[in-house]
A and B are shown apart, each in its own frame.
Chain A
Amino acid sequence: MRLVVVGHGPAAHRLIETLAGRGFSGTVTVFGEEPRPAYDRVALTSYLSGKSVEDLTYPVPDGVTVRTGVRVTAIDRARRVVTTDAGDSEPYDVLVLATGSAPFVPPVPGRDLPGCFVYRTIDDLDAIREASRGARAGVVVGGGLLGLEAADALRGLGLDTHVIEMSGRLMPRQVDEGGGSVLRGHIEALGLTIHTDAGVRSIEAGQDGRVASLVKPDGETIGAQVVVFSAGIRPRDELARDCGLEVGERGGVVVDEGMRTSDERVYAIGECALAGGVVYGLVGPCNTQAEVAAERIMDGDASFTGADMSTKLKLLGVEVAQFGAMSGALDVTYMDPVGGVYKRLFISDDAKTLLGGVCVGDAAPYDALRPFVGRPLPGAPSDLLFAGAGGASAELPDDAQVCSCNNVTKGRICAAIADKGLTDVGGIKDCTRAGTTCGSCVPMLKQLLVKSGVDVGKALCEHFSHSRAELFDIVNVRGITTFSQLIAEHGTGRGCDICKPVVASILASLGRGHILDGEQAALQDTNDQFLANIQKNGTYSVVPRIPGGEITPDKLIVIGEVARDFGLYTKITGAQRIDLLGARVEQLPAIWRRLVDAGFESGHAYGKALRTVKSCVGSTWCRYGVQDSVGMAIALELRYRGLRSPHKLKSAVSGCARECAEARSKDFGIIATEQGWNLYVGGNGGFKPRHADLLASDLSTDDLVRTIDRFLMFYIRTADRLQRTAAWLENLDGGLDYLREVIMEDSLGICAELDAQMERHVSTYADEWRTTIEDPDKLRRFVSFVNAPGVPDPSISFETERDQIKPVLIPLEVTR
């Protein structure tokens, strides 16, 4: 079968992905008019705040031909061929229209002037960003969901932002009047100007021919250089119209329950389709339509019979949620104009059935109550408004929808947990797709795991029933200084290779003494015990700190001489320093004596600790650099050196947007801007690469340092054992927004404590190697044999490869 798909947006992507997942054997050709493959349009605004096109782009399944930048111009249904603006044609057996929609631009004078935009594609965003340079003010026409998102984008681009909404309130489809007024209060507090019951009479040009102002029907003139139209969408049904397919009176390709048009060989899905008289503009229903069409194409019998239009989102930092009906015989309302919270539930006339609800400022009831729409109330209405039916999911019926983006019911999730033995949210995502789109149901997925009897793995090991974060709090709050005290009071047994290094790390993070002092010495993994990295033959590597990767010729020579004199293998690391390999334990103190005397310090390459802050050469030398990235990297590396953490920490500073230091692959990365520094967090290279997320832009040096201080300390306090910042951030309930609230707005009231903890670290730092070689007690442990201190381990031997040493390994015969 030859399948042709017209349009390559999220719905088309879901279609081809579903087909690929079910083993579709025909050929698939997709035409997309945009110059790039399908991307996540829901996350479009994040493109302006630092996400790259690659971050947003969906992968194309194997075997699918995608032709980007090619528009289909006509469909010949009799010959079953589409023709394109590239001048060629493509035959089909089955055709799917996924042409999406176009933003509606009201016919006002001046709407075509340079400076007028719509908000739909990456190209639109590039154009808006370009036009915003040097602009002072912007107007968004339309105060719905997308309009407010566009307003958020303009605000983020530094424009004085106005929103014009025709109706009497913002987001008229999602909130009622009371919710609208609370929402308006939030948004005005951010400095945006809201005009409701307003329209556009005309858009006026300045002398340069570009947009200069917008005139409202009442004559008021708003000075603005950028205008974005976001006043609704119109289905792209022109191809269907031209080839005689049935379309709705107000647009949209008419489809049946199987997403089939009036031609049985042609399907339509997504925002171009008119299903049951409705054009759906939300990602959830469009995905379902794509899956139904895929099923039907493969001779299945799935149906699309309408969709839950419930929405929960966070716009401009305000939570907004709506589910079920927006009216009812009875209602219960809570309104706090000062705190900016509005919650209203609609109930049947007998006060027994939940009909729907609206929340602004606190969407907590949404997750718990949405599945109860049309069902008996799970509690007293006033309790539900506050407790959000706490734990109500236990009583949820199996057919209640938990993930509305992907149409997954509680029953399906619980069955997957039981049948496949799932133990974490990741497993549920893989098996059911629940939680993979907007993520708002993830807390509910966790609850379902717990209620299915899954131990979600909080216990660190058999000796502690606590998580690492809980142990951190216990040690911190109770002032515990030894492992023995902690395990006697809060654990069982004598610990193991899992909990001992964790507790050692917590004690070190909280500045409770040298890591080899007293009992702490017995907690350390061999790397921390010998302050070096064990290698496969039992020797160790030595990595002196080279802050920012900057080193004098004299120091380079010392490293070379030490390597030569001790016969070590040398290699430049990926983190701009030098690894010296092949040292036996008894050589380590002598090697470090030489290095410390030359001014070197421990590089902590052996520790779950800050490794390096890498840098590009920066504005001192580079003709493109805008800030001194080397100086910043050195300052940061010296500030955080020795900081113990749940896993290793890597960082980098780039002196301009060319990003030569690869800062976005680091736990915290800094990229210089003309105005200051952009801070990215949660990046990772390694096994599962992840680009770091932009946490804050254009920070001053002081603000940058303070924000990193708090980010690191909050991570150290709350992360699991061996959880890098990337996984920590992805698992953090509330994600990046929550992180911002905690460390930039101090929503938990802990910033003073985080600051104090970092200050203590900085002021008490001492080089571990210097204190070790100055302490005879510690030095006594650096022997291969306690009964023959001068004797090297005879099992260690080397051969030569490329003029350097290489370990000779003893062949092993082990039955496994």
Chain B
Amino acid sequence: MTVLDATPALAGHWTPVCAYTDLLPERGAAVLVGDRQVAVFRAFDGALYALGNLDPFSGAQVMSRGIVGTRNGEPTVASPMHKQVFSLISGVCVDNPRVAVPTYPIRVTDGTVEVSVA
């Protein structure tokens, strides 16, 4: 696997990024944390996920604009550029498991979404 973003995702330093209600069900949004772009997703059941926003296949910062769905029950997002599907849980590309995007811890505190990127 090629890890494109080698920075370890250390929990502990949480950055508030938006209100939970800013996120639409089954849609993503991009957030800027320092100079890092993170794609945050709200699944149908209300669960939140955070991935790197960079699509490793096209090199564009667009993962947040993909279609959210499931593959065999696992929540996924499809890159809007060339439609490769990634697991929202592991960041691994379902269509090509040698490629993955980074994942980040995400939580809600008092209605505010927080991510931890370092």
Contact = CB atoms under 8 A, between A and B. Distances in A.
Interface of A: 462-463, 493-497, 499-501, 519, 521-527, 529-530, 534, 536-538, 780-781, 784-788, 791, 793-796, 809-816
A813 B2 contact: yes
Nearest to B2: A815
A108 B57 CA distance: 77
A430 to B, nearest CB: 27
Given A496-B70, A521-B27, A814-B2, A526 B59 contact: no
Contacts of A538: 60-62
A534 B32 contact: no
Contact of A537 (B1, B37, B60, B69): B60
A193 B98 CA distance: 73
Highest count of chain A CB atoms <10 Å: which of B4, B27, B67, B72 = B67
A463 B71 CA distance: 9
Interface string B53-88: 010111111100111111111011010110101000
A786 B22 contact: yes
Given A786-B29, A791-B32, A814 B67 contact: no
Contact of A494 (B4, B24, B26, B85): B26
Contacts of B65: 526, 529-530, 534
Nearest to A813: B2
A772 to B, nearest CB: 15
B29 A494 contact: no
Contacts of B25: 519, 522
A529 B73 CA distance: 25
A816 B98 contact: yes
A786 B99 contact: no
Contacts of A524: 67
Interface residues of B, number: 47
28 contacts: A494-B43, A494-B69, A496-B69, A496-B78, A499-B69, A500-B69, A519-B25, A521-B24, A521-B27, A522-B24, A525-B67, A526-B80, A529-B65, A534-B62, A534-B65, A534-B81, A537-B60, A538-B61, A780-B22, A786-B17, A794-B35, A795-B37, A795-B61, A812-B58, A812-B59, A814-B99, A815-B98, A816-B96
Contacts of A796: 61
A522 B31 contact: no
A524 B27 CA distance: 10
Contacts of A813: 2, 4
B18 A786 contact: yes
Nearest to B75: A494
Contacts of B66: 497, 526
Given A501-B67, A786-B22, A536 B60 contact: yes
A1 to B, nearest CB: 51
A494 B70 contact: yes
A482 to B, nearest CB: 12
Nearest to A807: B60
Highest count of chain A CB atoms <10 Å: which of B23, B61, B66, B83 = B61
Contact of B30 (A519, A522, A536, A786): A786
A358 B29 CA distance: 67
B81 A787 contact: no
Contacts of A814: 2, 4, 56-57, 99
Contacts of A793: 30, 37, 61
Nearest to A529: B65
A529 B62 CA distance: 13
Nearest to A780: B22
A185 B115 CA distance: 79
A537 B96 CA distance: 22
Nearest to B68: A522
Highest count of chain A CB atoms <10 Å: which of B2, B22, B58, B85 = B58
Nearest to A812: B59
A793 B38 CA distance: 12
Contacts of B70: 463, 493-496
Contacts of B69: 463, 493-497, 499-500
Contacts of A794: 35
B78 A536 contact: no
A816 B30 contact: no
Contact of B27 (A463, A522, A534, A780): A522
Contacts of B67: 496-497, 500-501, 522-525
A698 B85 CA distance: 50
Nearest to B98: A815
A675 B74 CA distance: 61
7 smallest A-B Cβ distances: which pairs?
A497-B78, A496-B69, A526-B80, A538-B60, A522-B26, A497-B67, A786-B29
A784 B61 CA distance: 10
A795 B58 CA distance: 13
Nearest to B54: A795
Contacts of B68: 494, 522
B72 A462 contact: yes
A782 B76 CA distance: 23
Given A462-B72, A810-B59, A497 B85 contact: yes
Given A793-B37, A794-B35, 19 more contacts: A493-B69, A495-B69, A519-B25, A522-B25, A522-B26, A526-B65, A527-B80, A534-B81, A536-B81, A537-B60, A784-B30, A785-B32, A786-B29, A788-B31, A795-B37, A813-B4, A814-B4, A815-B2, A816-B98
A139 to B, nearest CB: 61
Contacts of B61: 538, 793, 795-796
Nearest to A784: B30
Nearest to B45: A494
Nearest to B32: A785
Contacts of A523: 67
